Amino acid sequence: MKDLKVVIISGQSGSGKSYAIKCFEDLGFFCVDNLPPPLIPKFVDICSQSGSEVKKIALGIDIRERSFLADFVSTFDRLKADGFQIELLFLEARDEVLVSRFSETRRPHPLARNRPILEAIKLEKERLSELRKGADKVIDTSEYNVHKLKEVITKYYITRSDVKRLNIFLISFGYKYGSPYEADLLFDVRFLVNPNFVSDLRLLSGDDPKIEEYIMKDQTSRSFINRLTRFLEFLFPLYEKEGRSYLTLGIGCTGGRHRSVVVANLIGRFFNKKGLELTVRHRDIGRV
């Protein structure tokens, strides 16, 4: 059995093949769309050569034409006989759903030359019927939005060892210097007690234990940190489930030197203890 894993993606026009390719790309597959069937063996051979870093590929194949269909079937059988881990994923949807999708996008069906859309859909279904029978997996996308389709593909095609954790970045900043443009979520902590008004603390930064002690002795600060960490515990898995690779949180106070630094450090330590790696950066800590 060859180490290279190959997934062929085909099916009805309008069933979501193009988005499925993007899903496989997000899952770490090397993806090529609309590769002619006669070129598949050569491409697979190149990817399977010793020294190649490609371990899994996904190929989107448009095989509604009868000649392409015959080429594909023989190619598919030959690759399986050669020991490749190859399977066919077939996407479909109900006729009325496909009609609605083509109407919404205003794209023509590829077989709708001089024929009504419903007739084109039925003709394509007929031409692909044998291919569907030989598919390893059939997914009906009639009730799926793009998020649900990605969830189903992930469930089928990614192993536990392949799962990539969400990369989380915390940026403390000062609103007087502007919000970080890369932040997905912003938390304003200017309501917390401000060490800037204490002469002995003003020149220290939020990395100093004295600043953290001053802020956290206040009940409002302790309550806020407790609620925020619980909220983020709920939130992070949802972003991970959606398939996000990166999430950036901006935590801001007036100057970005005291309160936002303390809050970012506390959140980082809290989740690091739970085994979740967060990268903390203090953008404006050096400004006075």
For 153-177, how does the pLDDT look when each residue is reduced to its tens digit (9 = 90+)?
888 887 655 556 688 999 999 999 9
pLDDT in the model for residue 53? 81
Give the C-alpha separation, 114 to 216, whole Å: 73
Q: How far apart are CA 61 and CA 79, in angstroms?
A: 15
Q: pTM, whole model, 2 decimals? A: 0.61
What pLDDT shows up at residue 1? 54
The contacts of residue 1 (CB under 8 Å, 6+ apart) are 83, 85
* 193/190 Cα distance (integer angstroms): 8
pLDDT computed for residue 63 by the predictor: 66
pLDDT of residue 59: 92
pLDDT of residue 163: 53
What are the residue boundaries of the structural domains of the chain, listed by start? 5-162, 167-282
- pLDDT band (50, 70, 90) for residue 64: low
Percent of the chain whose predicted confidence (pLDDT) is above 70: 94
Six token digits for residue 153: 């593909």
Are the C-beta atoms of 60 and 34 separated by less than 8 Å?
A: yes
For domain 5-162, which CATH number applies: 3.40.50.300, 3.40.50.1820, 3.30.310.220, 3.20.20.70? 3.40.50.300
